[in-house]
Structure 1
Amino acid sequence: MANVCEICGKGELSGFNVSHSHLKTKRRWKPNIQRVKALVNGEIKKINVCTRCLRSNKVARAV
């Protein structure tokens, strides 16, 4: 599953773990993506949506 929200486009971010001695190693932050059934153009589809979009009602969940 792709780590991209189909509503807002939120995806992975990259950066560094920084130790006490200031050594840096690469790391990634992944968004909380859920696969949900939603109404899209009047039909029910499964889409990948971040929890921020679910919580702010940008997605009409199908029952």
Structure 2
Amino acid sequence: MSRRCELTGKGPMVGNNVSHANNKTKRRFLPNLNDVSLMSETLGRPVKLRISASALRTVDHRGGIDAFLAKAKDDALSPNALKIKKEIAKAQASA
């Protein structure tokens, strides 16, 4: 399972551990990923995603997963999130 946010594309970053003696060794900074079920009002069912904590706050700020996906760029989304975005757009067009 890749350590990448499905909504924002946020992934691991690299940097250095720096000791008191100023020795530097490589390390990875991993994103804070959580498995969540977000309720889609358009689809009427929850959608399961693995997203970062900052993306979860952004989803709440924008007013839910439907509004977030409507504004999101396709290249940042995972294939699973892109599929959900298309389902929501199709459901909104038919309603």
Question: Relative contact order: is structure 1 or structure 2 higher (C-alpha 8 Å, sep ≥ 6)?
Answer: 1
Structure 2 residue aligned with 1:32: 32
Work out the CA distance in 2 between the residues paired with 1:18 and 1:34.
28
- CA offset digits 1:13-63 (Å, max 9, x no partner): 111101122211111111111111123x72533111111111122553xxx
For 1:25, the aligned partner's letter is: T
Question: Which structure shows the bigger proportion of residues in strand conformation?
Answer: 1
User: 5+ unaligned residues in a row in structure 1: which ranges?
Assistant: none
Q: How does 1:6-45 map to 2 (within 5 A)?
A: 6-38=6-38, 39=40, 42=43, 43-45=45-47
Identity of aligned residues (%): 37
Question: Which structure shows the bigger proportion of residues in helix conformation?
Answer: 2
Structure of higher CA gyration radius: 2
**Match for 2:53 among 36, 44, 51?**
51
SS state of the match for residue 7, structure 2?
Answer: coil
Work out the CA distance in 2 between the residues paired with 1:2 and 1:46.
16
Aligned pair count? 59
User: 5+ unaligned residues in a row in structure 2: which ranges?
Assistant: 66-95
TM-score, L = length of structure 2 = 0.53
Misfit runs of 4+, over 3 Å: none
